[in-house]
Amino acid sequence: MLVKLLEPLNVSDSIIEKLAEPIKQAGHEFVYYNEKTTDSVELANRSEGADVIMIANNSYPTDVINQNDNLKLINVAFTGVDHVGIAHAKNQDIMICNAAGYANQAVAELTIGLVLDLYRHITQGDREIRNSNFPGPFQGSEIKGKTVGLIGTGKIGMMTAHLFKAFGAKLVASDQSRRNPEAEDLGIEYMELDELLTQSDIVSLHIPLLPSTKGLISKEKLDLMKESAILINCARGPIVDNDALADALNEGRIAGAGIDVFDMEPPIPEDYKLLHAKNAILTPHIGFLTDEAMELRARIAFDNTIAFLEDRPQNIIKR
């Protein structure tokens, strides 16, 4: 079979070569493009004839899928797969797999980092201390004793829960899909979403983007939060009505937000309301992006390819 990796995976070429060696030793062909492209014509050209294509978080739309009759597997080296024409691929009997789990620690640590930044005014302090009119130090807050509401208790949610627990926070959770026994063992109390939003000092999102979760955190849901509460989103941008979030921040209806994901991938348009919101710490979708996570992601992605070539597909997306 012909396997093509269409974009870099943020690891060295030598690591790619090492991971691809079992594919070539098994008699398959492997082609690697080490420069990213977002051009659909170029993506189609790169995909030509491939049985397996490997991508990361680069869009792989329906019109590109249509141009390769050979395609059998779209191997997404990423957790979310909403940047792929999923429904069309399934109609063509093309499998899609992902690399869920590679960034659990990385995303959980960024979540904590955003909370600490908001609570201790780290970014603000760095900016102000460089100002000749230094206003003085900022009094902050501690995580210990705060109620943290986790929306989603999958693997990333649970990794985040353990870190918050180490800080001495009280943990509550809401999950549309299931109750996680690990969460209950950790002493997490499950409750309905509205109750969680009302009680929590920190609300942290850890759910996938699905039709049922798009816009879940609406103006009405934001209005349930305490004025002193903060919202952290290191999941997917459209889970939140981000215009409503900007309004809530600017009007002081919540105290702050740490946001790593948006309604589009960066760069963000200049008129995007969150860019101009008060007490918002924004990062350019870096939750997954650590050296350690990138190496683990590459290993999982290549393991997925090898498993498929050996007729034992794994990490297949079911929906």
Catalytic residues: 236, 265, 285
- The CA distance from 125 to 143, in Å, is 19
Give one DSSP letter per residue of 266-287, joined into a string.
Answer: SSPPTT-GGGG-TTEEE--S-T
SS3 content of the chain, % helix, strand, coil (to 5): 40, 15, 45
Q: How far apart are CA 222 and CA 194, in angstroms?
A: 10
Q: Measured at the alpha carbon of residue 207, what is the angle toward residues 94 and 123, in degrees to the nearest 5?
A: 120
- What's the Rg (C-alpha) of the chain? 21
Calpha distance 135→93 (Å, rounded): 62
On the CB side of 187, CA atoms within 13 Å amount to 10
Residue type for 65, please?
A: I
- Which residues does 11 contact at the CB level (< 8 Å), separation at least 6? 294, 295, 298
Give the span between the Cα atoms of 68 and 312, in whole angstroms.
23
- HSE value, Cβ hemisphere, 13 Å, CA-based, for 222: 26
Q: Which residues, including other chains, have CB under 8 Å from residue 249's CB and lie 6 or more apart?
A: 256, 257, 277, 278, 279, 280
Contact between residue 239 and residue 213 where contact means Cβ atoms under 8 Å apart: yes
**271: Cβ contacts below 8 Å, ≥ 6 apart:** none
Residue 19 token pair:
């991971």
